[in-house]
Amino acid sequence: MCAEFQVPLRAAALRFPFGHPAVAAAVVGCASPAEVRDNAELFALDIPDELWQALVRRGLLDDDIPLPV
């Protein structure tokens, strides 16, 4: 699904938890300054809302789950 929308899987994984209103932060492991920069760049990528909706339509996410916007 991510490839279809040209979104790196890691970028979607970083953003997904923030769809839930109770999530204010996520801890991401980094072993080097380069990994910190990489994670920040991935988090800043634009992820189309259509990706999340497509995951719901295909049954990969429940339709009542809060999605990132």
d(CA 1, CA 60): 10
Instruction: Assess contact for 43 and 17: CB atoms under 8 A.
Output: no
Per-residue tens of pLDDT for the chain, all 69 residues = 999 999 999 999 999 999 999 999 999 989 999 999 999 999 999 999 999 999 999 999 999 999 998
Q: Per-domain residue ranges for the chain?
A: 9-57
The candidate with the shortest Cα–Cα distance to 39, out of 19, 6, 3, 10, is: 10
Query: Model's pTM, two decimal places?
Result: 0.86
